[in-house]
């Protein structure tokens, strides 16, 4: 199984300031066709998760452009350019490269 490791697990951020979350996979997520199916999810308190970013850097429908994703191979990053109050929650990286799908432990973003 591919192990997904996120850092940090907890991040206090000031409103209006940037935030960054890292995700590392235990093996390369690059497929033979060159695609890398690394996905980021956001879970607001009391809500189900929501898809934010897929294929490393593609924002899903309705996701604000302050969210961006980058990376390659085994190392990936989710960035929020300016934190807003509605961004508070837990963020998970996951892959849909092969079965079984696995999730990172989650990174909890809070307002400082």
- Judged by CB under 8 A, the residue of 2, 5, 20, 37 near other proteins is 37
Give the shortest CB-73-to-other proteins separation in angstroms.
17
Least distance to other proteins, CB of residue 80, Å = 19
CB of 58 to other proteins, least distance (A): 8
Tokens coding 33: 């066709």
Other CB atoms within 10 Å distance of the CB of residue 31? 11
- Restricting to residues 53-72, name those near other proteins by CB under 8 A: 54-55, 60
First-last CA distance in the chain: 36
> What SS3 class is residue 5?
strand
């Amino acid at each position: 199984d591919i192990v997904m490791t996120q850092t940090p697990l907890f991040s206090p951020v000031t409103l209006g300031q940037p935030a960054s979350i890292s995700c590392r996979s235990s093996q390369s997520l690059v497929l033979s066709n060159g695609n890398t199916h690394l996905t980021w999810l956001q879970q607001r308190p009391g809500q189900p998760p929501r898809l934010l970013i897929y294929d490393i850097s593609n924002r899903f429908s309705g996701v604000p452009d302050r969210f961006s994703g980058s990376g390659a191979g085994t190392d990936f990053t989710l960035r929020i350019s300016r934190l807003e109050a509605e961004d508070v929650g837990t963020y998970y990286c996951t892959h849909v490269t092969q079965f079984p799908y696995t999730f990172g432990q989650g990174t909890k973003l809070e307002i400082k």
